[in-house]
């Protein structure tokens, strides 16, 4: 499958965030306060028909796990269900990491859903600390990779 990573604006991420990450909470918010933060970056993957099939957002945010590092946080990582396991998530994080590294960031981290930890581990990320649940009760761990 032909997959191309492009920069998009925050609003273009909302439909996939809602469909993939908020499917069990249809009324809940899909905009994040960090979406418009200085330095925020939104990337998408488009397929051969120019359909947006995956999104991810990055913004500057330190982590208590490495407070001195210049860190960026990943949020809203969502791949269209019919396209999952086709390499779109990997491509997004590779391009995101390249862009962040070039901008001087040292670290990328996220609150990763436990159901996605295998994905982050496969890409060489570390899983840190104790597990926790988000406001919707979904189990998570902090995940992190050096840039």
Distance in Å, CB of 80 to ligand COA, minimum: 8
As to burial, measured by CB atoms within 10 angstroms (0-12 exposed, 13-18 middle, 19+ buried), residue 11 is exposed
CA distance 82 to 42: 21
Q: Which position among 5, 78, 95, 107 is part of the footprint of ligand COA (CB under 6 A)?
A: 78
Is 122 near ligand COA (CB under 6 A)?
A: yes
Beta strand 41-47 pairing with 3-7:
antiparallel
Is 118 near ligand COA (CB under 6 A)?
A: yes
Q: Which position among 30, 40, 72, 88 is part of the footprint of ligand COA (CB under 6 A)?
A: 88
Is 97 near ligand COA (CB under 6 A)?
A: no
Is 115 near ligand COA (CB under 6 A)?
A: yes
- Distances from the Cα of 122 to the Cαs of 89, 90, 114, 143, in angstroms? 11, 9, 14, 12
Q: Which of residues 23-52 bind ligand COA (CB under 6 A)?
A: none
Kindly indicate which of the ranges 26-34, 35-43, 95-103, 113-121 contains the residues binding ligand COA, using the contact rule CB under 6 A: 113-121
Kindly indicate which of the ranges 32-40, 60-68, 108-116, 126-134 contains the residues binding ligand COA, using the contact rule CB under 6 A: 108-116
Tokens of 139: 């189990």
């Amino acid at each position: 499958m032909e997959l191309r990573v492009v920069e998009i604006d925050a609003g273009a991420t909302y439909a996939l965030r809602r469909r993939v990450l908020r499917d069990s909470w249809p009324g809940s918010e899909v905009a994040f306060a960090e979406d418009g933060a200085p330095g925020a970056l939104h990337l998408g993957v488009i397929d051969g028909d120019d359909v947006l099939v995956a999104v991810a957002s990055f913004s500057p945010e330190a982590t208590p796990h490495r407070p001195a590092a210049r860190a960026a946080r990943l949020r809203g990582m969502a791949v269209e269900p019919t396209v999952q396991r086709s390499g779109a998530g990997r491509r997004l994080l590779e391009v995101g990491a390249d862009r962040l590294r070039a901008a001087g960031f040292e670290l990328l981290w996220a609150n990763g859903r436990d159901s996605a930890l295998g994905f982050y581990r496969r890409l060489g990320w570390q899983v840190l600390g104790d597990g926790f649940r988000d406001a919707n009760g979904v189990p998570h761990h902090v995940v992190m990779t050096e840039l």
